[in-house]
Amino acid sequence: MKSTKTLFRLLVSGALTASMLLPSSLAVYQAKVKADSLYLRSAPGGSVIATLSQGTTVAVTNNSSEWYKVIVDGKEGYVSGSYLTGTTATDFSVGSGKITCSSTVNLRSEANTSSSILTSLSNGTAVTITGVSGGWYKVSTGGKTGYVHPDYVQVSGGSSASTGATASAPAVTAGKVSCSSTVNLRAEANTSSDILASLANGTAVTLGAKENGWYKVSVNGKSGYIKADYITTSVSSSANMASYSGLSAKRTAVLDYAAKFLGVPYVYGGSTPSGFDCSGFTSYVYKNTVCSIERVAQAQFDTTTRVSRDELLPGDLVFFGSSAYSISHVGIYVGDGQFIHAPHTGDVVKYDSLSGSYATRFQGGGRVIFD
């Protein structure tokens, strides 16, 4: 009896594990990001379209190579498939699209051809794609929500026209090694794996995904992993200030000026370009671009206009702490879920994602610029 129960548990465990594997036979399926952050690119290895945070659900439409073609929030692009995992989530923002068929196609109540027909959709009908289930798109149109097979849906590429409120952040795809002497480039994201090379302080690298505190990087024809503590991020040359189109002059000035200090070391109590602490950095940037603000993070929080995460605009302040009455950190939001800040002793001014512990500790945004 005991061996039978053990076998049953193993079978159940195996079934559960298998259910989370990425399927390959479906025309479209859902997956989620397992890395701390993951770049959505215009082509395999191409320029960055967006940064996807951990847990983001995407629709996978092609996985025939290591670069998976995905769609999320109206954006279509490519991600490294090794940083996706299975998910049971079925409702998420895919984007807009239209029906493509010779005459009409059925909108069904469930994701199969045996379910009831809710209505017939003619060729060219606009739909909003609100999820994926069983290899079918979940769509809404004309007040009805149902399922259509992907063979009959053309997903619109790109999101609706951007405004200043949704301007993208500069793509953080470049970086450099920041250490006292050298740091090891490793075959895997752990200190037990093989050393591929030793990189000197200041070595330029191209950044891939960040997972569990390690960056996947490429340098001198080699790809491997470096602990994120030894990487200073910067803005790739292809992501110039055109990314800020639509922002006011004041907001653009704040972002431009803040980026000048990437790589400046964190110094407790510092408020000059020779070294900043978090609030010393934000107060210095604002003082030299827009207006003077309070010096201490809690005072900056208390004296700025509160905005939620969904309301953040590039140039707003972002605050972190255990509560609204215990603010311990501040940075400047740059858009696309990223911010620039002076993190802590031993680190430098850099871009980071509003995910992980930063998302947990986020207490709100602070607005100073109102045009």
Q: Which amino acid is at 278?
A: C
260 and 361 together in one domain? yes
What CATH number does residue 309 fall under? 3.90.1720.10
Out of 21-30, 98-107, 301-310, pick the least confident: 21-30
85 and 126 together in one domain? no
346 and 259 together in one domain? yes
35 and 135 together in one domain? no
In this model, does residue 320 exceed pLDDT 80?
yes
| Count of domains for the chain | 4
Domain assignment present for residue 20? The answer is no
Question: Quick one: average pLDDT of 271-282?
Answer: 95
Domain assignment present for residue 19? The answer is no
Domain assignment present for residue 162? The answer is no
Ramachandran category for residue 328: left, alpha or beta (phi over 0 → left; psi -120 to 50 → alpha):
alpha
272 and 295 together in one domain? yes
More confident residue, 292 or 44: 292
Q: Tell me which of 66, 89, 112 is where a domain ends.
A: 89
Domain assignment present for residue 334? The answer is yes
Question: Quick one: average pLDDT of 341-366?
Answer: 89
40 and 132 together in one domain? no
Question: Quick one: average pLDDT of 230-243?
Answer: 52
- H helix or E strand, kind and range, residue 96: strand 91-99
State the pLDDT at residue 114: 93
State the pLDDT at residue 133: 87
Distance from the first to the final alpha carbon of the chain: 73
Please, which contacts does 265-268 make with residues 24 or more away whose CB atoms are closer than 8 Å? 265/347, 265/348, 266/342, 266/343, 266/344, 266/345, 266/346, 266/347, 266/348, 266/349, 268/345
More confident residue, 206 or 353: 353
State the pLDDT at residue 25: 56
State the pLDDT at residue 46: 64
More confident residue, 4 or 180: 180
294 and 355 together in one domain? yes
Tokens 């005459």 appear where? 103
Length of the chain: 371
362-367/317-323 β-pairing: antiparallel
Distance CA(278)–CA(282), nearest Å, equals 7
Domain assignment present for residue 16? The answer is no
314 and 254 together in one domain? yes
Domain assignment present for residue 264? The answer is yes
State the pLDDT at residue 157: 53
110 and 132 together in one domain? yes
pLDDT, mean over the chain: 80
Domain assignment present for residue 131? The answer is yes
The pair of structure tokens assigned to 55 is: 């847990």
Percent of the chain with pLDDT over 70: 82
Q: Which amino acid is at 322?
A: S
- Structural domain including 114 reads 92-155
Question: Quick one: average pLDDT of 173-181?
Answer: 78
Distance CA(162)–CA(273), nearest Å, equals 34
343 and 252 together in one domain? yes
Q: Is 202 exposed, middle or buried (CB count within 10 Å of its CB: 0-12, 13-18, 19+)?
A: exposed
361 and 255 together in one domain? yes
Domain assignment present for residue 282? The answer is yes
In this model, does residue 58 exceed pLDDT 60?
yes
State the pLDDT at residue 158: 41
Question: Quick one: average pLDDT of 285-290?
Answer: 95
What CATH number does residue 84 fall under? 2.30.30.40
More confident residue, 193 or 332: 332
Read off the pLDDT band of 304 (50, 70, 90).
very high
